Amino acid sequence: MSSRVRSVSTTASLHAATCLLAEHGISCLVVVDGDRPVGILSERDLVREVARFPTAWTDRPVSEVMTHPLHVAEEDTTVAEAISELRRHRIRRLPVVGSDGRLAGIVTQTDLLRAAHRRLQDYATNLERIVGERTSELRDMERRRDDLVDLTVHDIKNSLCVVDSAIQMMDEDEPGLAAMLPLLRRATHRIANLVATLLDVNRLENGSMPLRLKSVPWSVVCDSIVEETGLIARAKSVTVERAGESIVLVRCDPQLIERVLLNLLDNAIGVAPEGSKVDIHAQCQPDGSFMVRVGNRGRVIAPDLLPTLFRKYNQGREPAPVKRFGGWGLGLTFCRLAIERHGGTIRAISPYVNGEGAALEFTLPPDPK
């Protein structure tokens, strides 16, 4: 909108109006009745009138020559709406009025074309930036996906080597069969867990995994997982400590939440220093939701990694790839998708306590849908 607009009274003469146009170097005047705009007097209107009355045009009142009825725009009218008004009424100028109905300015075809051009330039610049960022993200995701494939194949190959070696030893030493069984169980469990998580991440992403909701005591979900991970923790002299709620009923899919807790504990124990402890704290929130926090005293997670920790194919540690399943990002992606499938949220907190460590915290709503 241009505020460089001049007005003339309906009772003014065409001679006075012409003088105003010449004095200010403008192409039109807004005709007002009192303080309300009622019409437009343009150079074209004047030329047409001079052609009709070559000798008697100067004393004619503006009201007899002006273009009316007047079409106006309000100050909050968008560029697109103003262009639409010009096209619909086949006019070139649109006076702008304030909330009180008084003249505030004027927009012309040229003003609107310039504004539209600027917006198109801004849009093109933003689009180029967004496409560039998205392309970079896709390339980065492709690279991380390739890393995941390499790590997955490597891990399955290692587990199969363990199975193959165990079978060979059993052939050579049948009395040692009992000693080989735990190795075989761990190797096959690792492969099964990896394949299941790969499949479940895809099912959670496309929404094909149904929730089997039940109301279960938190201790039923938590106890078995603490016992399962306790062996790994004791091997590192790491203590797993529980705090907070225990017998409270939680509405959830128990199997999914057990696997979430298993991933979080496995990850926390894996990065916890020897002789330290891992916390599991459960608490009912004032809004009825249920919060679980798993924390360790390991290294602090860099602030720039916190927002990306739960992304697919994100390792979350630098510089070398981690050979633990929980460190590839896929396990944490499963956790995020499973919690979001319940309608909850999950986040990373670091530092955790005394300027060290990290915690992964999820919240479940009181009634998942």
List, in order, residues 6 or more apart from 294 with CB less than 8 Å away: 261, 264, 265, 268, 278, 279, 280, 359, 360, 361
Any domain includes 1: no
Any domain includes 172: yes
| Among 147, 180, 205, residue at a domain's last position | 205
Measure the CA–CA gap between 222 and 203, rounded to whole angstroms: 24
Instruction: Note the pLDDT of residue 142.
Output: 79
Instruction: Note the pLDDT of residue 352.
Output: 92
Statement to judge: residues 143 and 190 lie in one domain: yes
Statement to judge: residues 264 and 344 lie in one domain: yes
Statement to judge: residues 142 and 85 lie in one domain: no
Q: Residue 63: helix, strand or coil by DSSP?
A: helix
Statement to judge: residues 94 and 161 lie in one domain: no
Phi, psi of 34 (to 5 degrees): 75, -115
Any domain includes 191: yes
Statement to judge: residues 103 and 32 lie in one domain: yes
Statement to judge: residues 145 and 57 lie in one domain: no
Q: Token pair for residue 119?
A: 């917006």
Statement to judge: residues 264 and 185 lie in one domain: no
Cα distances from 171 to residues 162, 165, 178, 250, 362, in angstroms, run 14, 10, 13, 49, 48
Domain region containing 146: 116-205
Any domain includes 2: no
In 295-369, which residue ranges form alpha helices assigned H by DSSP?
A: 330-341
Number of domains in the chain: 3
| Among 76, 109, 142, residue at a domain's last position | 109
| Among 173, 205, 237, residue at a domain's last position | 205
CATH number of 35's domain: 3.10.580.10
CATH number of 171's domain: 1.10.287
Statement to judge: residues 146 and 242 lie in one domain: no
Instruction: Note the pLDDT of residue 144.
Output: 66
Instruction: Note the pLDDT of residue 320.
Output: 37
Instruction: Note the pLDDT of residue 364.
Output: 96
Statement to judge: residues 250 and 144 lie in one domain: no
| pLDDT tens, residue order, the chain (369 aa) | 776 788 889 889 999 999 988 888 888 889 988 878 888 888 888 898 888 888 888 888 988 888 888 888 888 888 888 888 888 888 888 888 888 778 878 888 888 888 888 888 888 999 999 999 999 888 877 776 676 666 667 667 767 777 777 777 777 776 666 767 776 776 777 677 777 777 777 788 777 778 889 999 999 999 988 887 887 788 889 999 999 988 899 999 998 899 899 889 988 998 899 999 999 999 999 999 999 999 999 999 888 888 878 876 555 444 333 333 344 457 788 889 899 999 999 999 999 988 899 999 999 999 887
Statement to judge: residues 224 and 168 lie in one domain: no
CATH number of 333's domain: 3.30.565.10
Statement to judge: residues 250 and 330 lie in one domain: yes
Instruction: Note the pLDDT of residue 249.
Output: 93
Any domain includes 308: yes
Instruction: Note the pLDDT of residue 317.
Output: 45
Residue with token string 């696997």? 259
Any domain includes 127: yes
Any domain includes 278: yes
Instruction: Note the pLDDT of residue 218.
Output: 94
Amino acid type, 151: L
Asked if 282 and 290 touch (Cβ cutoff 8 Å), the reply is: yes
Any domain includes 156: yes
Statement to judge: residues 248 and 290 lie in one domain: yes
Instruction: Note the pLDDT of residue 252.
Output: 94
